[in-house]
Amino acid sequence: MKRRDFMQLAGMSAGAMMLPFSSFANEVDVAHLLNPLLDVAQKKQLADVALNTAKSLGATYTDVRIGRYLNQFVITREKKVQGVQNTESFGAGIRVIVNGTWGFAASNNVTADGIKKTTERAVAIAKANSKFQKEPVKLAPTPSYGEVSWKTPIVKNGFEVPIKDKVDLLLNANAKALEKGASFVNSRMFLVNEQKYFASSEGSYIDQDVHRTWPGFTVSMIDRASGSFKNRDAFSSPVGMGYEYLDGKAEDKVAGPGGITLYNKSYDIVEDATFAAEQAKQMIAAKSVEPGKYDLVLEPSHMWLTIHESVGHPTELDRVLGYEANFAGTSFLTLDKWQTKKFNFGSDKVNFVADKTQVGSLGAVGYDDEGVKCKSWDLIKNGVLVNYQAIRDQAAIIGEKESHGCCYSQSWSDVQFQRMANVSLQPGKERLTPEQMISGIDKGIYIVKDGSFSIDQQRYNFQFGGVLFFEIKGGKIVGMLKDVAYQANSQEFWNSCVQVCDERDYRLNGAFNDGKGQPSQSNAVSHGSATARFNGVNVINTARTI
């Protein structure tokens, strides 16, 4: 399995494919998922039990997260339903500081007695840990927000849409791909609803209802004469939206170079599956790329993964500090580079913003998982490294007066820690379309959709592939290529960025399952960009063995 596929599908595989599927989900179970287990007043009462218990036992800080996490998976292949599964997880996680040391405990016994015992266990863990603590935990201040709420601004709750409608939609997409000659096709739909209640000893009581949607497919085309095959994945993106994302409105379609159709804000899975089968045939017949230096034009559905790996991860402060070294690596963007305030990360066209508030993004919430109101902030400004991603117990290390609001836990049973915000390349200031960008290139490649990738433990040296590759000669697209991957290091690559299209071309893409930490957790994150040009990048032929 390609590393990209593992990253995106790990959560689906673990959460759904390892469970015994039924042919169709029980509609009674679906109805149950739509009903709250506790109202806000009941959650507040239980949270106060934890807060009062911890204080009586000597805690100087406490936070409580009562969470209900719902997932729905619908998976089909060709003309059959492979599985439909609903999952539900409900419980409480309690974090305390005692003697300047963190302690955490969690339980699915969400009663007053269960909360009290869990709190006592968290305090006991903190006291035991304090024997080894060298410096006390210092939290950046955050306001008390009182009783507040936030909801993903959805139009259609996907959990309320009948299973039959979802199955019919996926099977219709499969049928269109098969009609166009696809050898195989599988399609899927993954819905997430996080119902999260947070309370802290600082006076915040925050109720949030978060929704995410991810439709997709893979069309496979086999040329039996040559024994070769190609896969074309969906041009959908996982989104922080409801089922309205699948409306496929005409105004949300983008006509891209090379005769392709892309999607923004809503998605037409049936139309895309039809195009995918036709393009998979073209991919097999495409010319194999000649290795060498090319000017690359990278479309947002491809760019997001390059941003994720070479910008998003290395600007996470815990990686910079070495906290992730044992599992997912550190960062080449060390503190000394930031301290100079002039480290040349990229060209002056390169501006990256971290944002936990962007509507429709996977990372959008009102407040993070330690009760900090979310915001946006600069990471790279005119090519210069200016900041990192930091949470409350890290902010002081880089002289910040407040957390950036990017703390997250994948469930009530896992402790929250620093996770990637939506990190996005800002559009260019001058009006520029992808077609205009291509018209200025003599020898180049236009790349659409993310493919396999590899990057080192410092997020520095990398190689990225893609799905669709179009050759550019004399300012025009002259045909499709295959077997393309490009190599660079992060600093060299972003310094080769010479143009970014304007905001009209800006689109979000992302991943449902960004893995990090020990024990590993998954985070959903989006990355936005407009199409961008990179000059003189090394391209290799992935099919050649010598």
Separation in Å, CA 198 to CA 48, 139, 150, 372, 530: 11, 17, 12, 10, 36
pLDDT value for 47: 98
User: pLDDT tens digit string along 54-92?
Assistant: 999 999 999 999 999 999 999 999 999 999 999 999 999
- Which of 4-13, 113-122, 393-402 comes out lowest in average pLDDT? 4-13
User: What share of the chain has pLDDT > 70, as a percent?
Assistant: 93
| Band (5; pLDDT cuts 50, 70, 90) | very low
**Half-sphere exposure for 427 (CA within 13 Å, toward CB):** 15
Cβ neighbour number for residue 323 with a 10 Å cutoff: 18
Q: How many residues does the chain have?
A: 546
Identify residue 123 by its one-letter amino acid code.
V
DSSP 8-state secondary structure symbol assigned to residue 396? G
| Band (6; pLDDT cuts 50, 70, 90) | very low
pLDDT value for 314: 97
Q: Are strands 292-298 and 443-455 parallel, antiparallel or unpaired?
A: parallel
Average pLDDT of the chain is: 93
- Predicted confidence (pLDDT) at residue 351 exceeds the cutoff of 80: yes
Mean pLDDT over 489-509 rounds to 98
Dihedral over Cα of 2, 465, 422, 249: its sign: negative
| Band (304; pLDDT cuts 50, 70, 90) | very high
Dihedral over Cα of 6, 66, 22, 178: its sign: negative
| Band (33; pLDDT cuts 50, 70, 90) | low
**What domains can you pick out in the chain, each with its CATH number?**
3-218 (3.30.2290.10), 288-541 (no CATH)
What would the two tokens of residue 272 be? 């895309």
Q: Please give the model's pTM, rounded to 2 decimal places.
A: 0.93
- Predicted confidence (pLDDT) at residue 28 exceeds the cutoff of 60: no
| Band (99; pLDDT cuts 50, 70, 90) | very high
| Measured distance CA(217)–CA(373) in Å, rounded | 36
